[in-house]
Amino acid sequence: MSGKDAYLKVENLTKMFGEFTALKNISLEVFEGEFVCFLGPSGCGKTTLLRAIAGLDIQTRGRVEQGGKDISGLPPSERDFGIVFQSYALFPNLTVNKNVAYGLENRKTPKADIDARVAELLESVGLTDQSDKYPAQLSGGQQQRVALSRALATKPGLLLLDEPLSALDAKVRVHLRHEIKQLQLRLGITTIMVTHDQEEALTMADRIVVMDEGEIEQIGTPEDIYSRPANPFVADFVGTMNFLAGTAGANGGVRLGDIDLATTNGPGGIMEGVEDGDAVTVCIRPEDVATRGVTPDTANAIPAVIKTLEFLGSFYRATLRARDTGKTAIRADFSINLVRDLEITEGQDFTIALPADHIRVYGEAFAHADDLI
C-alpha cells in the first residue's frame, strides 16, 4: 500500500481531557477504499480517536488530513463523512424512508432522485419492505442497517462506525459483520470501525490498529496482528497466548527452566538488544503447540503432565505443566481425534513440542495471571 498516497492522515494527534491524556501523539494513515479497525480494550482511546477524526470532539493538538485537505480544525458539518453510532441514533419519529432520506432532503436533490436513492439503499440492505415502519418497530439488526443506509445515502468519502455491532445478539452480529464487509467492498468506501471485539476486527478489517492507554501498540493486517504481535500486550489482547518466563540463551535460543528451545524468532527482530541470560517472555499460541507424533527427540520437545482438559466443542484445551520448568503452565489445543485416538485423560504424562517458527520471544518480563498453577 505504501506506493499510494494516504486518503486519511492523522499526525501527532493528542487529546487531553483536563489533566488526563486520552490520546498520545497518534499518527496513522488510511488508504482509499481500505477498511481499518481501531481495536482495544475499553478506555484505550479508540472512540476518542474516531470522534476527533469526525470533528465531534476536536483534538487538543495534531493534524488530520482527508483527501489532501487539512481538516484539523473543521466542525463536523464541514467534513465529509457518514457515521453509525452504537446507539444508531435513528430519528424515532421518522419512518425508515425518512431517516435514510434525511441527509438528501437538505441538498436540493429532486424528490424522484431521493426516492430512487433511498429505494436503492434499502434494497442493498434488504429492507425494502420495511420502509414505512418506524425504527422502534424494527429489530436491532434492522435498525443497524437503516443507520448504515442513512450514513451512506449522501455518498460520503469516509464511513465511520463506532461499535456498530456491539448492541446486537451474537448470531445477528456474525451475520451483519459479513454483510457490512460485503457492502463496504462493493462500494469501495474508505471505512474506519471502532470495536473492542477482536473477532470482528480480524474478520472485517484490511488493517487493524491495536490501541491501549491512548497509544498505538501495533498497526498491521489481521494476519500480522495475530501471528506476529509486536509486543506482549497485542499478543495477549488478540487471541489466546501462552506467556512463559524464560531467559535468553545462545544463538537466539531461549531457556525455559532446564530446557533449551531453538527459535527462528521470525521477522521483527524482537530479540534485538537482549543479552545472553536476560529475562525474556516466550510466547506461543495454544493451537501452535505440537501435540501429535511428538517424541522426546522431537525438536523443542517438552515432557509434561496434563493438569486439566477442558472440552470446548470442536477441540479440547489442555493445561499442561512442564516437568522440568517449575510452575509454568502451558495451554495447548488437542483435537477431538487426538484425544479419542490416544485416550488422553487428565493427570497423564504427555510430551508436547513448541515449534521454533511459532515461538515469539519478547525481551521483557510479562506477568500473566493465567500462567501460574
Partner 1 sequence: MAPAVNHAETMPGQISVGAPVKLKVSGEDWIMRGVLVAIGLYLIVAIVLPLYALLSKSFQNKDGTFIGLANFTEFFSTPALSYSVNNSLTIASISTVIVVSLAFVYAYALTRSCMPFKSLFKGVALIPILMPSLLPAISLIFMFGKQGFLRFLLFGHDIYGPIGIVMGEVIYVFPHVLMIILIAMSMSDGRLYEASESLGASKVRTFFTVTLPGIRYGLVSAGFVAFTLIITDFGVPKVVGGQYNVLATDVYKQVVGRQDFEMGAVVSMVLLIPAVIAFAADRIVQRKQIAILTARAVPYAPQPSSGFDAIMTGFCALIAVIIVGILGVALFASLVKFWPYNLSLTLGNYDFSLRDGGGWDAYANSIEMAAWTAVIGTCVVFIGAYLVEKSKGFHTGRAAMQFLAMMPMAVPGLSLGLAYIFFFNAPDNPLNFLYHTMPILVICTITHFYTVSHLTAVTALKQIDAEFESVSASLKVPFYKTFWRVTVPVCVPAILDISMYFFVNAMTTVSAVVFLYSPDTALASVAVLNMDDAGEQASAAAMGIMIVLTAGGARLLHALLTRGLARRTQAWRKR
Tell the smallest beta-carbon distance from residue 326 to partner 1 (Å): 38
Tell the smallest beta-carbon distance from residue 103 to partner 1 (Å): 3
Q: Residue from 21, 72, 203, 335 that binds partner 1 (CB under 8 A)? A: 72
Nearer to partner 1, 63 or 307 (CB): 63
Nearer to partner 1, 62 or 239 (CB): 62
C-alpha separations of 49 from 2, 68, 199, 219, 340 in Å: 23, 19, 21, 15, 49
Nearer to partner 1, 233 or 243 (CB): 233
Q: Kindly write out the interface string for residues 175-214 of this chain, putting x where it contacts partner 1 by CB under 8 A and - elsewhere.
A: ----------------------------------------
Tell the smallest beta-carbon distance from residue 102 to partner 1 (Å): 6
Part of the chain binding partner 1 (CB under 8 A), chosen from 53-61, 166-174, 262-270, 356-364: 53-61
Q: Kindly write out the interface string for residues 123-162 of this chain, putting x where it contacts partner 1 by CB under 8 A and - elsewhere.
A: -----------xxxx------------xx-xx-x------
Q: Residue from 11, 32, 179, 213 that binds partner 1 (CB under 8 A)? A: 11
C-alpha separations of 127 from 14, 133, 205, 357 in Å: 41, 10, 25, 48
Tell the smallest beta-carbon distance from residue 266 to partner 1 (Å): 17
Burial code (b: 16+ CB inside 10 Å, e: under 16) for 228-238 equals bbbbbbbbbbb
219: β partners = 209
Q: Exposed, middle or buried by CB within 10 Å (0-12, 13-18, 19+), for 296?
A: exposed
Is residue 36 near partner 1 by the rule CB under 8 A? no
CB atoms within 10 A of CB 305: 14
Nearer to partner 1, 75 or 277 (CB): 75
- What cell does 286 get? 495454544
For 43, half-sphere exposure in the C-beta direction (CA atoms, 13 angstrom radius) is 2
Residue 277 to residue 275: CA distance in whole angstroms:
6
Q: Closest Cα to residue 46, out of 54, 239, 143, 222?
A: 54
Q: Closest Cα to residue 272, out of 189, 200, 363?
A: 363
Tell the smallest beta-carbon distance from residue 200 to partner 1 (Å): 21
Q: Residue from 21, 24, 67, 74 that binds partner 1 (CB under 8 A)? A: 74
CB atoms within 10 A of CB 72: 17
Binding site for partner 1 (CB under 8 A): 2, 11-12, 27-29, 54-56, 58-63, 70, 72-79, 81-83, 85, 87, 89, 91-94, 102-103, 106-107, 134-137, 150-151, 153-154, 156, 219-220
